[in-house]
Amino acid sequence: MSNPSIVLKEKGKIVLENRPVPDLTDERSVKIAVKKTGICGSDVHYYLHGNCGTFVVKAPMVLGHESSGVIAEVGRLVTNVKVGDKVAIEPGVPSRYSEEYKNGRYNLCPDMAFAATPPYDGTLARYYIMPEDFVYKLPDHVSLEEGALVEPLSVAVHAAKRAGIKYNSNVAVFGAGPVGLLTAGAARALGAANVLVVDIFDTKLELAKNIGATHTYNSLKKGNFDEEIIKLIGDRPDIVLEASGADIAMNNGLNLLKTGGVFVQIGMGKDDVKLPVAQMTQREIDYRGSSRYSQGDYNDAVTMIANGKIDVKQLITHRFKFKDAKTAYDNIIQNGKDVVKTIIDGPEDELAKL
């Protein structure tokens, strides 16, 4: 057998190479034949800059972490999946001994082994090994493409839970990238009455209406920002979720938020952003971070897709064959404003001879 893999050799250089087929050595792990993988912004950062935040690529690394596939082999003690099952892959495994894991907030584990985050290889390969409790069986009617989108949807689900969204909440989401769009969908699925999405691209705002937004607003529009939005949703939002990482969006969101409201930061902004701290204190703004996903988020994301609460397929704007993975990354860099979510197929049969 061969294991074709998409490898970032160094900043700016992606190649297709054959890696060893991973052995299934743990009795509670599974081998997955990866079939669909979405491209995340972090992968693009590694490609362009050789780093993403504090994570620096120091050795060749297989890319990809938004993946689904089919179980190819199971360890002797595996019980929750069997060979042939379609699964979504949760790509980060914490230390089973950390306090964060024991407390149910394993996403904060300092020893997290996360796919395509140095020094760990990612999922853009023919085969990938995971513990059985970090794969999630997909219902028959849920496609493998939808399965690949469980990962970014889980980010959105986690952020919505961090915000405390409940029935009749008034919510504003800043940023209509994949995570922002899915956050709007998750907010609506969890019972929010109004979900406003703010962005600068009308095409993405139109898509937001199909994913879960009840209202949209182009922030390039002239006029009083707060007044225009209050007019749309009837009041200031009691929850703001910021998914762009842009300084101006953070400040606009905080200014717009109702006194005593909750602000959740999802987008990775700069470390030295200037925020209205005195105003936040006086108005008792609850400012919360949101990192990836944790206990129950993947299950909830699969259920939302399976029950038709969120049509994640609408986010897919581009599809590429495995052998054209580099072209897929280059297309995002060159035509980013036209790309929402790119899906790369698993290795084609003709690559088996590599």
List Cβ neighbours of 69 (8 Å cut-off, separation of 6 or more). 32, 33, 34, 35, 36, 86, 87, 89, 128, 144, 147, 346
Token reading at 149: 């989108």
Token pair 């108005």 in the structure block, residue: 283
Q: pLDDT by residue for the chain (354 residues), tens digit each? A: 689 999 999 999 999 999 999 999 999 999 999 999 999 999 999 999 999 888 999 999 999 999 999 999 999 999 999 999 999 999 999 999 999 999 999 999 999 999 999 999 999 999 999 999 999 999 999 999 999 999 999 999 999 999 999 999 999 999 999 999 999 999 999 999 999 999 999 999 999 999 999 999 999 998 899 999 999 999 999 999 999 999 999 999 999 999 999 999 999 888 889 999 999 999 999 999 999 999 999 999 999 999 999 999 999 999 999 999 999 999 999 998 899 999 999 997 644 443
Residue-wise pLDDT tens digits, 216-249 = 999 999 889 999 999 999 999 999 999 999 999 9
332 near 342, Cβ under 8 Å?
A: yes
List Cβ neighbours of 322 (8 Å cut-off, separation of 6 or more). 4, 6, 16, 124, 344, 345, 346, 347, 348, 351
pLDDT of residue 351: 45
Cα–Cα distance for residue pair 242/289, rounded to 1 Å: 10
pLDDT of residue 1: 65
Was domain 3-148+311-353 assigned CATH 3.40.50.300? no
pLDDT of residue 350: 45
CATH class of the structural domain 153-289: alpha beta
Residue-wise pLDDT tens digits, 275-302 = 999 999 999 999 999 999 999 999 999 9
pLDDT of residue 336: 86
Token pair 């001879």 in the structure block, residue: 353
pLDDT of residue 270: 84
Q: Do the domains 3-148+311-353 and 153-289 sit in the same CATH topology, yes or no?
A: no
Q: Where are the domains of the chain?
A: 3-148+311-353, 153-289
